[in-house]
Structure 1
Amino acid sequence: MAEPQDAVSLLLRRLSATSRARIGLGRAGQGLPTRETLAFRLAHAQARDAVAAGLDTEALRQRLDEDSVIVGSAAADRTAYLKDPGAGRRLDDDSRERLRPGDYDVAVVIADGLSAVAANSNALPVYAELRRIMDGVTFAPVVFAHMARVALGDEIGELLGARSLVMLIGERPGLSSADSLGAYITRSPRKGRVDSERNCISNIRPDGLSHEQAARNIAWILKEAERIGETGIALKDRRDRRTLSQDED
């Protein structure tokens, strides 16, 4: 029979193998090992950098290689954006003039949110896969949004005349994930929508939900939203979790 201490060590090793959370780090005297202390400081610095970083629209547009629009919120700068969340939910006047209505099934907004690092690295792969599996769906030109909060997408979708909106936005970084992307899906987007009228898919990143699986989940929600005419609390994902990765393309 294993000693209690051995059993605890085994449990911690198993847990740490399934998560990037700081589990069973060990000790060096009365403190943490130097390696773990430095790793913690690095993660904290990466999280701070992610919040301060900007959306690299030039590189993103080159990679996208299709029509797109760049807009900004009413926040004058990053400091104002962080201090006044409401400013990030409203478009500035110039941006409203850039958005033209059309007959679009889906509008996709790629936004910095609280982690431009996440949007810069994860948004386009999700969008590309979504376009691939939703052949026949009419997409509006991609909108890149600076200093955006989630609700900014509703005004964008309304001005574009889109029937559904997908907001791909950087999530608040943590100490184990500075690159986590969120997807917010809204049927009939319009200014004034509330959180309960949206569906959210989170933790989209290489060490979390894969780009391909995220796109499949978004596509399912879009199709279901079209069927029932709503998103949010009215739309529940009741699919068998064992078959999620086998959804039809």
Structure 2
Amino acid sequence: MMAGEVDVWSKLRALTPARVALDRSGDAPSLRSVLDFQLAHAHARDAIHTAFDAAAIAEALKPRETLSVESRAGDRATYLKRPDLGRRLSEASAPRIPRLDCDVAFVVADGLSATGVESHAAAVLDAVMPLIPSLTVGPVVIASQARVAIADEIGERMGARISAILIGERPGLSVSDSLGIYVTYGPRIGRSDAERNCISNIHGHGLTPRRAAETLAWLLHQALDRGLSGVRLKDESGGGPRLVGG
């Protein structure tokens, strides 16, 4: 906005963290807009590269039982270049998964934002457990350098009827600490994204952990009752608009 202009966009900006009608100085963005963009970009890069503190997650989940595993991507650089390696357990990690024949395998994974996982995953799990008292649940598996599909192998090895992975979402320029949840009925290696349901945008300015837990509990019960997940399972819980899709 140039000097003397009326800022007609201020009310709209107050409703969203998105960049609406950026200020300008002549034909270029204002210094404030440029610096805000650079700061947001730095937050996004930090979220992707910040080391995942699996021990802190385990501590936050106490007294719930946990176990830690790693993907086949040995470091962050490999993880970013080779998504396929992040979808499979390392040779050392695979034997750590016990065969339990349980209803649900919960996985907490760094994904593309360790910040998002460390900020919200424990709160979601704390909120969902009282909502699924009839379901048998294995130890929470904490996975490093992991992609969504690693829960397929974990769930299959655990003998779980369904897997739910809480994973850091790709950061954007307005939110860098967002958590996502992917639910897959009958987890096994080779499942496609169309066979999953996603609960997205769990963060301080988005979906609350409590609301996410309510949606997650509904999906778990419905997936187990109907024997399916993904595009064939739509949110019909009647709880208002939710960020759920196949």
Task: Give the TM-score normalised by the residue count of structure 1.
Answer: 0.90
Could you tell me whether the CA contact under 8 Å between 1:104 and 1:140 is conserved in 2? yes
Corresponding residue number in structure 2 for 1:54? 51
Task: Look up the match of 1:18.
Answer: 15
1:55 Cα deviation from its structure 2 partner: 1.6
Deviation per CA, 1:14-63: give whole Å up to 9, x if none. Answer: 32122100113322343333332222111101101111122211111111
Distance in structure 1 (CA, Å) of the matches to 2:240 and 2:137? 30
Give the aligned partner of residue 65 of structure 2. 67
Cα distance in 2, alignment partners of residues 239 and 102 from structure 1: 30
Aligned counterparts of 1:132 and 1:14: Cα–Cα separation in 2: 40
Taking the TM superposition and a 5 Å limit, the aligned residue runs for 1:1-150 are 9-10=7-8, 12-65=9-62, 66-150=64-148
1-structure distance, mates of 2:14, 2:219: 32
Shift, 1:168, TM fit:
0.5
8 Å CA contact 2:113–2:169 kept in 1: the answer is yes
Structure 2 unaligned runs (5+)? Answer: none
CA distance in 2, matches of 1:174, 1:147: 19
Q: Which residue of 2 aligns with 1:247?
A: none
- SS in structure 1 opposite 2:28? coil
1:109 deviates by 0.4
Aligned-pair CA distance for 1:241: 5.2
Structure-1 residue corresponding to 2:171: 173
Distance 1:137 1:228 in 2: 15
Secondary structure class of the residue paired with 2:146: coil
- CA 1:239–1:197 in structure 2 vs 1: closer, same or farther (change >3 Å)? same
Residue 122 of structure 1, CA deviation: 1.0
Contact 2:110-2:143 within 8 A present in 1 as well: yes
Query: Per the alignment, do residues 242 and 78 of structure 1 end up closer, same or farther by CA in structure 2, a change over 3 Å counting?
Result: closer
What percent of counterpart residues are identical?
46
**TM-score scaled by length of structure 2:** 0.91
Structure 1 CA distance for aligned equivalents of residues 184 and 35 of structure 2 = 41
Higher mean C-alpha deviation, range 57-66 or range 179-188:
57-66
In structure 2, distance between residues paired with 1:180 and 1:98: 29
Residue 219, structure 1, aligned to residue 232, structure 2: no
Size of the aligned set, in residue pairs, is 237
- Tell me what 1:191 maps to: 189
Instruction: Report the Cα distance in structure 2 between the residues aligned to 1:218 and 1:181, rounded to whole angstroms.
Output: 13
State which of 226, 239, 246 in structure 2 corresponds to 1:228: 226
Report the Cα offset of residue 105 of structure 1.
1.3
CA displacement at 1:227 relative to structure 2: 1.4
- The answer to whether the 8 Å contact 1:13/1:24 transfers is no
Task: Check the 8 A contact 1:73/1:92 in 2, yes or no.
Answer: yes
1-side partners of 2:40 and 2:188: how far apart? 37
